[in-house]
Structure 1
Amino acid sequence: MNMTGNTILITGGGSGIGLALALELKKLNNEVIIAGRSQGKLTEAAHLGFKTMTVDMTDAKSIEALAKKAIADFPSLNGVIHNAGIMKNENMLKGPTPEIRHETVMTNLLGPMQLTEVLLPHLIKQKSAFIMTVTSGLAYAPLAMTPTYSATKAAIHSYTQSLRYQLKDTAVQVIELVPPYVQTSLMGQRQASDPNAMPLNEFISEVMQILKTEPDVKEILVKRVHMQRFATDAGPEKYNDFFNQFNDRMLAARKVEW
């Protein structure tokens, strides 16, 4: 990935990891377009000097309109970061959660897949381009409290691998960013101030260092996510112990909201 001179579209770029990445990429002389559905966040992003576009990642027509407008308004567009996502608890013993399941799958999985599909013919024509998906350490060791979220991130990891293979003979680089538990408002203010979560500035600093020093990187793995990413490497028995201990610990910490 070239670190400068790009034109990059970031979904869900109005806050958290998306906005932090946008700010760092902007410093490196990249043109960054932030897309999202919160008008308040888009207004704040505009005040920071970003171009903004509205999109609802659960709506196929909205995604198609975003892609077409981004290509028309920014012909040099050569990068997309699929950062939009939602994460909600689902206690299946309390009853079904069809609304959460639908919104999560549409936003976290089908939305990025469709946006990639619409942008791909344009990206392939560029001299150098990239697609970055944002998964999670939970793609490798799921959080049982958020089953649909964890499942969508595992699916995006799989999709990213297939996409990378299919595009291996093109100029489009496919990168997977795998965050650990980070201090953002993804699950509300509790997460944003949780001392057990990785500070956002430390996460972004490590991510940018990896991008700068490993231009051909396939997976961006900060050290804090290694335990989850490689949890299966020690074999099924140790993975099962890790999975149970991890989920027991998280359930105990979040019992109030469960």
Structure 2
Amino acid sequence: MDISGNTIFIPGSTSGIGLALALELRAKGNTVIIGGRRAELLEKIAAEHPGIGTVRIDTADPASITAAAEEVLNRYPDLNVLVTMAGIMHIEDWHQPESFLASAESVVTTNVLGPIRLIAAFIEHLRAQPDATIVTVSSGLAFAPLKVTPSYNASKAAIHMLSESIRLQLTDTSVKVVELVPPSVRTELLPGQEENELAMPLDEFVAEVMALLEAEPEAKEIQVERVKFLRHGEARGDYDQVVRTLNASDPHAR
């Protein structure tokens, strides 16, 4: 993926990694459109950051995705990059179904069906572009589980394999598939995570991601150094140790 000259839609980017990445991509000379559910928050971001486009979208709602895709393509016909950023994370206790089922269903709807529906809404347009990219967002937890977030771990493992699979299918098109693999980052994804000293500072994460995108335009996965401990445990042969260390150190697992 080229670092500049793109028209990029990033749903789920009104805070955290999505917003920080949107602003950096805008600074690199891209046209950037962010999507989110709350109209007042979108208006606030647009006022604070002139030039950023905004579109209301609820990635858990198929009708909202369809309507947002139509609006984006009407307003930005040169769109060539889709970043499927939206995601949620819940702590779950799987001892009793009443304590986890609704949470698990919402995580799968947002984290798995959301990206699938987004890609379905934009793929025909992207295939018609001379150079296009789909950026998926998995997690280090796709490769080593945090015990208190089973559905999130599974949803991100699904996104990893989805990315691998559609990349193979789309090799006969102009569409590249790039998987962003974050570690734990200081965002509002879970309560208290913004203050978690074990999580990577958001500005450091985004700076390293931008540097990797610029240095490796043909990369299939974007892995900052901090995520490699989780990402490659099985290949290194120390997977069990990685899982023990992750669950002993993360405050949410206690």
- TM-score, normalised to structure 2, is 0.95
Q: Note the C-alpha offset of 1:155.
A: 0.0
Instruction: Give yes or no for the alignment of 1:85 onto 2:87.
Output: yes
Aligned to 2:252: 254
Structure 2: distance between partners of 1:62 and 1:199: 32
Aligned to 1:36: 36
Deviations 1:92-129 (A, max 9, x none): 12543222112111111011011101200000111111
Code of the residue aligned with 2:245 in structure 1: it is: Q
- In the alignment, structure 2 segments of 5+ residues that lack a partner are none
- In the alignment, structure 1 segments of 5+ residues that lack a partner are none
Q: Note the C-alpha offset of 1:71.
A: 1.0
Instruction: Give yes or no for the alignment of 1:153 onto 2:156.
Output: yes
**1:152-191 equivalent positions in 2, closer than 5 A:** 152-188=155-191, 190-191=192-193
> Conserved in 1, the CA contact under 8 Å of 2:148 and 2:252?
no
Structure 1: distance between partners of 2:6 and 2:202: 24
Aligned to 2:201: 199
Structure 2: distance between partners of 1:249 and 1:118: 40
Match of 1:210 among 196, 208, 212: 212
SS in 1 for 2:176: strand
Q: Note the C-alpha offset of 1:40.
A: 3.7
Structure 2: distance between partners of 1:26 and 1:239: 38
Instruction: Give yes or no for the alignment of 1:219 onto 2:217.
Output: no
Where does structure 1 differ by over 6 angstroms across 4 or more consecutive aligned residues? none
> Conserved in 2, the CA contact under 8 Å of 1:137 and 1:228?
yes
Q: Note the C-alpha offset of 1:196.
A: 1.1
Aligned to 1:56: 58
> Conserved in 2, the CA contact under 8 Å of 1:8 and 1:81?
yes
Count the aligned residue pairs.
251
Q: Note the C-alpha offset of 1:51.
A: 1.2
Aligned to 1:230: 232
Tell me: CA distance 1:196–1:245, structure 2 relative to 1, closer, same or farther (3 Å).
Answer: closer
Instruction: Give yes or no for the alignment of 1:8 onto 2:11.
Output: no
Q: Note the C-alpha offset of 1:249.
A: 3.0
> Conserved in 1, the CA contact under 8 Å of 2:12 and 2:87?
yes
Structure 2: distance between partners of 1:102 and 1:17: 23
Structure 1: distance between partners of 2:182 and 2:42: 23
SS in 1 for 2:183: coil
Tell me: CA distance 1:12–1:45, structure 2 relative to 1, closer, same or farther (3 Å).
Answer: same
SS in 2 for 1:89: coil
Structure 1: distance between partners of 2:214 and 2:143: 25
Say what the alpha-carbon RMSD is for the aligned residues: 1.4
Aligned to 1:123: 126
Instruction: Give yes or no for the alignment of 1:108 onto 2:108.
Output: no
> Conserved in 2, the CA contact under 8 Å of 1:63 and 1:115?
yes
> Conserved in 2, the CA contact under 8 Å of 1:34 and 1:45?
no
Structure 2: distance between partners of 1:10 and 1:149: 20
Aligned to 1:69: 71
> Conserved in 1, the CA contact under 8 Å of 2:6 and 2:30?
yes
Structure 1: distance between partners of 2:93 and 2:172: 44
> Conserved in 1, the CA contact under 8 Å of 2:9 and 2:35?
yes
Deviations 1:159-184 (A, max 9, x none): 00011111112111110000001011
Q: Note the C-alpha offset of 1:41.
A: 2.8
Code of the residue aligned with 1:28 in structure 2: it is: K
SS in 2 for 1:32: strand
Code of the residue aligned with 1:121 in structure 2: it is: E
Q: Note the C-alpha offset of 1:64.
A: 1.2
